[in-house]
Chains A and B, each alone.
Chain A
Amino acid sequence: MNNFGVIEVASTKTKNAPGWAYVPDIGPSPAAAALQPTNRKRAVRNQTALSLSDVSARQDTKVRKDLEALDRDIHRDANIPIPPKPGAGRAQNKHTPNVRKILQSQKTFANHLDDYQALLTLAETNPAAAAALANAAPTKPAVPSTSARNSPAPTASGGGGGGSSGGGGGGSKRSAALAKRAALVTAKEQKEAAAAKKAAKVKSEPVFEAEHNTTSGNNDGGDVEMTDAPPTSGPGEGAAEVASKTTPSGSATPTAAAVSSGSSEPQLQPVLPPPPETWYQADGSMLPAYKRKPPVAHPGDNDPLLVSSRVPRFPTDDELCALMTAPPLSYLEARAGWGDEEGRYPVRTFCEVCGYWGRVRCLKCGARACALDCLQTHKEECFTRYGL
């Protein structure tokens, strides 16, 4: 940490021109429409309308294909087999059934993502079916007592959280998705528990192994059994709001926590965790008063006109608590979207040949070029691709 020096620190307050620029363009073009900053919404709409034309469709297709290629692992996906082990004859560990399945899986990230999204969709349209699917464990069902404890909350609390208050754009969409996921949790929980139990058993009783081999074969929806985010989805949404309403003094939950983690129950529910809220509050009900430095005082702090606008209120402990304990978003929820806000960045177009501004368009395919030189070069390629 001491050698953790600095190479660059930038902290000047100079406002330089940002890195984008507008380009004049020949022909109908969204970029040209975007020249008027006030028109940016319309510019975005124009763009979609334009894409209906053949020329733009060709261009769209090309862009899509290009992006797919850029996303692939470098150049081509090499299928390099695992070379033989060094220092021969090292006894191969015997894998557990879980591990064997994982090692054999040839699923890509896209496959896993599809599985997950499919389950979410199913949960939305047909929660019962999703639950059944998620619950389709080949072996014994989970301990019955688990469902009683876990079933009530998710859907109800998820649905209630709907419109996130703190969130800006995309917030409500995200919390809706959270609610969807919550619906899955109950079912998954049981399956997971069963699987874990299974794993533990295999260790002690080798006899079971054969049985599991066969069952894991026909259960190749395998990943379904994997865990979801914690079933805290409810409390996470509309953070501030929920926190202040439901946990003003940490009244109900800590007691519940004390009960569930107390000594009376452990044997009853060996595979079940206490409700996740207890993680946050296991050693204390609430975030302590915020003792560190408050935001820098400002002479205008007490000016009623400025209080709300110039010096934003520092979040309350409840708000901070809600923020710090909110559950993770899913992979797609965390992907930054192209919101309306970003309409302020005009789409820039470049010469496909040399990379300079794309000031002229090929009438056949919509490709851009900077000037006649490059357009000529492009046309030769364009001819090979589209003919005529």
Chain B
Amino acid sequence: MAGGAKSRSSGGPAPPSKTLVLDNGGSTIKAGFVAAGDNADKKPRVIPNCLARDRHKKTYVASELDKCKDFSEIDFRRPVEKGFIVNWEAQKEIWDREFFYDKALQKCDPASTRLVLAEQPNSLPALQSHCDQIVFEEFGFASYYRGVGPAFNAYHDIQGIFRTPRAPNTPVNFPAEIILLIDSGFSHTTVTPILQGRPLHQAIRRLDVGGKLLTNYLTRLISVRHFDMRSEPYIVNEMKETACYVSLDFKGDLEKTWKGTRGERRQDYLTGSAGIAKDYVLPDSHTRFHGVVRDYEPSVSARARKGVVVSTEDILTLRNERFVVPELLFHPSDIGIRQPGLAALVMQSLSVLPEGLWPGLLANIVVVGGNALFDGFVQRLQTELLELVPDACTVRVARPEDPIVSTWLGATNFAKHVHADRLAVTKQEYEENGAGWVARKFAAGLGVDT
């Protein structure tokens, strides 16, 4: 318990043996317990972080949404805004039901539990303080650490992710020596260089493009070109997740999906744009509650255009919508956002660091967050980076098996690591020293090792 506070050494309670690990995201909460001796690989529960109301005015809180079948015209209220917990009225209700009520699915007794909570980098001090106060004063956790989410990813077997050749049974040391962590989630996309588990704060950079904006953009495109989907956020989001991809040849793909001039359709276009065109069958709220992606059938869409009813299915054909949407991560200026794309974002981050660190960082880029699941994301990032980095640099980009729960998994490894004891704060320390002290201790982080 190096670095432990005096209150603890003077007879304070031992740290709780159980830790609740929460990655409280804008779209979903990743939640699960970890205990000191745990070795088994675990999976978190992924809980919708929202209140939802369907078109029959029924309200669902968080995991109750699993019981919802008909998502048409569903509305959401989210406690997290821009990646940070802003509305505690809603967030507390969700936590209460998931963790603290008698019938909670992951029932937790805060008085004997440590909380490890992942937060997005560069939060506002007021919001951090709100969070700390609620954790101690409302829920009464025995012990608590709030840390930058990306940094928890350093507590992974990073070289395993990269399949770096090594002798079998080579011990894995946490945290990883050096990684460049890209987290592209619901709210935004961040780049965080991490040395020995310490995020290099001065070099963290954010691009304000995340999954929410992409879904909104797809909604707009479809509503302009096909039919009004503005009250169907759930359906469009699903469409985005199943049908969109990051193009490795944007110019070429755009060419293939162009209809041509003056009414005469180009051959490419008619035959399905070399496989890019896909038919998307919308849910009908009776027999089909989720959309389905199908190969493009020219005859079907031709008849549909002429108003011939071929079936009861609502089908829309997706063409350039499939790749211009994720393209915003690499070219935010396409819709007028005055920010650099992801590759340049990485370079901006590196530019404030000594060049001696670049090779290590560029050779260990890990991408997490839901947007990393787009096909082509990893390759595109790598291709663009190779254009920008010095010639001598190797660029390696890897995506963990499940990028959505990667931060949570890292945080569970962290929770078992000695670093957790070093960084966590007890309820008693909070009461003695106040919220400001806690905030400063968290912000200071690990410091350097002896």
Interface residues of A (CB under 8 A from B): 1-16, 18-21, 63-64, 66-67, 69-83, 85-87, 90, 93, 95-96, 98-99, 102-109, 112-113, 115-116, 164, 166-171, 174, 188-189, 192-193, 195-197, 199-200, 203, 223, 226-232, 236, 239-240, 261, 263, 266, 270-273, 276, 279-284, 286-288, 292, 295-296, 310-315, 319-321, 323-331, 333-339, 341-342, 345, 347-348, 350, 353-357, 370-373
Which of B127, B163, B220, B384 counts the most chain A CB atoms within 10 A? B127
Task: Give A177 Cβ to nearest chain B Cβ, in Å.
Answer: 12
* B262 on interface, CB distance cutoff 8 Å: yes
| Complex Cα gap A370–B356 (Å) | 46
Task: Give chain B nearest CB distance to A266 CB in angstroms.
Answer: 7
A197 to B437, CA, bound (A): 12
Neighbouring B residues of A102 by C-beta, 8 Å:
88, 130, 133-134
Contacts of B436 in A (CB 8 A): 188-189, 192-193, 196, 227, 273
Inter-chain contact B344/A199, CB cutoff 8 Å: no
Give the complex CA separation of A315 and B353 in angstroms.
9
Q: Which residue on chain B has the smallest CB distance to residue A355? A: B320
Interface of A, secondary structure class, is: loop
Q: Which residue of A lies closest to B191 (CB)?
A: A336
Q: Which residue of B lies closest to A240 (CB)?
A: B354
User: How far is B234's CA from A156's CA once the two chains are assembled, in angstroms?
Assistant: 53
Q: Give CA–CA (A159, B325) in the complex, Å.
A: 44
In the complex, chain A residues whose CB is within 8 Å of the CB of B76: 73-74, 78, 80
Q: A-B pairs with the 5 shortest C-beta distances?
A: A196-B434, A284-B450, A78-B75, A192-B436, A312-B355
Can you pick out 9 interface pairs between chain A and chain B where the beta carbons lie within 8 Å of each other?
A: A15-B383, A87-B102, A193-B436, A196-B436, A200-B434, A229-B125, A261-B6, A355-B254, A372-B261
Report the minimal beta-carbon distance from B440 to chain A, rounded to whole angstroms: 4
When distances are taken between beta carbons in the complex, the residues of chain B under 8 Å from A295 are 356, 359-360
B179, CB-defined interface residue at 8 Å: no
Say yes or no: B335 contacts A67, CB within 8 Å. Answer: yes
Q: How far is the CA of A276 from the CA of B339 in the complex (A)?
A: 34
Partner of B344, one of A87, A325, A345: A345
- Complex partner residue of B399 from A6, A15, A373, CB under 8 angstroms: A6
In this complex, what residue of B is CB-closest to A73? B78
Contact (Cβ within 8 A) A8 B379 = yes
Q: Which of A106, A112, A271 contacts B437 (CB 8 A)?
A: A271
B288 adjacent to chain A (CB < 8 Å) = no
Which of B334, B351, B354, B440 sits near A315, CB closer than 8 Å? B354
In the assembled complex, the CB of A260 is this many whole angstroms from the nearest CB of chain B, namely: 11
B301 at interface, CB cutoff 8 A: no
**Alpha-carbon separation in the docked complex, A282 to B4 (Å):** 10
Q: Flag if B331 contacts A80 (CB, 8 Å).
A: no
A4-B157, A70-B335, A338-B340 are contacts. A9–B398 as well, Cβ < 8 Å? yes
Cα separation A279 to B448 with both chains bound (whole Å): 9
Is A282 within 8 A of B202, CB to CB? Answer: no
Contact B122 A328 (CB under 8 A): yes
Known: A295-B359, A341-B344, A355-B321. A203 touches B431 (CB 8 A): yes
CA distance A207 to B203 in the complex (A): 48
Q: Out of A66, A296, A312, A330, which one reaches B336, CB within 8 Å?
A: A66
Q: Other than A82-B61, A311-B392, give 19 A-B pairs with Cβ distance below 8 A.
A: A6-B163, A18-B383, A20-B251, A71-B208, A73-B76, A86-B101, A95-B138, A102-B88, A108-B86, A115-B126, A167-B202, A230-B443, A325-B448, A327-B201, A331-B122, A336-B339, A336-B348, A338-B340, A373-B262
Q: Which of B52, B138, B347 has the most CB of A within 10 A?
A: B138
**Beta-carbon contact of B207 and A354 below 8 Å:** no
Given contacts A11-B394, A287-B449, A373-B261, contact A116 B440 (CB under 8 A): no
Please, which residues of chain A bring their CB within 8 A of the CB of B392?
310-311
Query: In the assembly, what is the distance between CA of A148 and CA of B254, in Å?
Result: 65
Q: Does B167 contact A (CB under 8 A)?
A: no
Give the bracket for the number of chain B residues in contact with chain A: 35 or more
CB-based contact B206/A271 at 8 Å:
no
Residues of B within 8 A of A21 (CB): 250-251
Contacts of B307 in A (CB 8 A): none
Are A70 and B213 in touch, CB under 8 angstroms? yes
Alpha-carbon distance between A232 and B384 when the two chains are bound, in angstroms? 36
Task: Say whether B330 faces chain A, with CB atoms less than 8 Å apart.
Answer: yes
- State whether A195 touches B435 (Cβ < 8 A): yes
Residues of A within 8 A of B398 (CB): 6, 8-10
Q: Is B93 in contact with chain A by the CB < 8 A criterion?
A: yes
Q: Name the contact of A63 in the complex, choosing from B172, B335, B354, B413 (C-beta under 8 A).
A: B335
B259 at the interface (CB under 8 A from A): yes
- What is the chain A residue whose CB lies nearest that of B360? A295
Bound-state CA distance A17–B4 (Å) is 53
**Complex interface residues of chain B between 80 and 119 (CB less than 8 A to chain A):** 81-82, 84, 86-90, 92-93, 97, 101-103
Q: Does B123 contact A331, Cβ atoms closer than 8 Å? A: yes
B residues within 8 A CB of A170?
Answer: 348, 352
Q: Does B160 contact A (CB under 8 A)?
A: yes
**Chain A residues with CB under 8 A of B257:** 355-356
B92 touching A6 by the CB < 8 A rule?
Answer: no
Q: When chains A and B are docked, how far (Å) is the Cα of A13 from the Cα of B384?
A: 11
Complex alpha-carbon distance, A189 and B348, angstroms: 33
For B192, the closest partner residue in chain A by CB is: A334
Bound Cα distance A339, B225 (Å):
34
